[in-house]
């Protein structure tokens, strides 16, 4: 976080390719700074964006940006990171994990979330939502060998990512099919606090987790 979608951040030096794709009212600028990034992976990432991003925006935030930039950036050493309407991807991750196309699905959900920069906390909620969306809208999870983490007693709802996402699936199953949409909206509106859980489900987050831990079976949402 902390960078913006403009050339002052991206920097024009070292660019191998720079493509602008328009489709159905959305624009993706795809910048590569990595000479050997496979065209096949690039195509899959672009296809995933134009499938999942409009779906995410339709479900969660109709005001999500219409213009998004992807940068294949060898200087970035994580997997991927998003801020404002720009996502950086580590090309070496894709060399090792060519089927992990739904990194796109997770990352562009952060763009859709568009929470105030001071209100991405608690981060476990932010990341749990993004992996919930990867689970429900992902295009290649099975081929990537990606799935929700099975429950075990050492876990906490604050573990984030797939562990938290599975907990959210359970809540959707048991309590409210729109739970994640409501949670996402509360985060974006700066309205989230610990009372959210009681207001939405009638129970505190700790009570919900205890109930989940006692019977963690879930029904698939897709």
Rounded average pLDDT per 10-residue block, the chain, 222 residues: 51 86 96 95 98 98 96 93 92 96 98 79 94 98 97 98 98 98 96 96 98 97 81
Q: Which ranges in 61-153 belong to alpha helices (H)?
A: 91-96, 103-113, 123-137
Cα angle 122-123-125, degrees, rounded to a multiple of 5: 75
> What's the confidence (pLDDT) of residue 14?
87
Q: What is the DSSP letter of 186?
A: H
Closest C-alpha among 149, 54, 160, 143 to residue 101: 143
- The pLDDT assigned to 8 comes to 57
Return the axis-axis angle of helices 123-137 and 179-188, rounded to nearest 10°.
140
Q: Which of 24, 194, 183 is nearest to 113 (CA)?
A: 183
- Report d(CA 183, CA 176) in Å as an integer: 11
């Amino acid at each position: 976080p902390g960078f913006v979608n403009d050339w002052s951040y991206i920097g024009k030096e070292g660019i191998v390719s720079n493509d602008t794709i328009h489709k159905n009212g959305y624009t993706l600028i795809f910048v590569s700074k990595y000479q050997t990034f496979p065209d096949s992976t690039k195509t899959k990432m672009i296809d995933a964006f134009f499938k999942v991003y409009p779906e995410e925006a339709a479900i969660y935030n109709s005001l999500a940006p219409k213009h998004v930039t992807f940068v294949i950036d060898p200087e970035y050493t994580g997997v991927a990171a998003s801020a404002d309407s720009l996502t950086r991807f580590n090309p070496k991750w894709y060399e090792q994990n060519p089927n992990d196309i739904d990194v796109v699905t997770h990352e562009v959900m952060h763009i859709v979330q568009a929470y105030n920069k001071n209100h991405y906390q608690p981060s476990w909620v932010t990341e749990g939502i993004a992996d919930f969306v990867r689970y429900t809208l992902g295009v290649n999870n099975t081929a990537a060998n990606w799935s929700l983490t099975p429950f075990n007693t050492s876990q906490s709802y604050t573990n984030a990512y797939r562990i938290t996402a599975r907990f959210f699936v359970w809540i959707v199953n048991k309590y409210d099919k729109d739970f994640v949409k409501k949670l996402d909206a509360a985060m974006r509106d700066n309205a989230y606090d610990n009372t959210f859980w009681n207001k939405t489900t009638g129970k505190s987050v700790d009570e919900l987790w205890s109930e989940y831990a006692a019977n963690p079976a879930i029904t698939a949402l897709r």
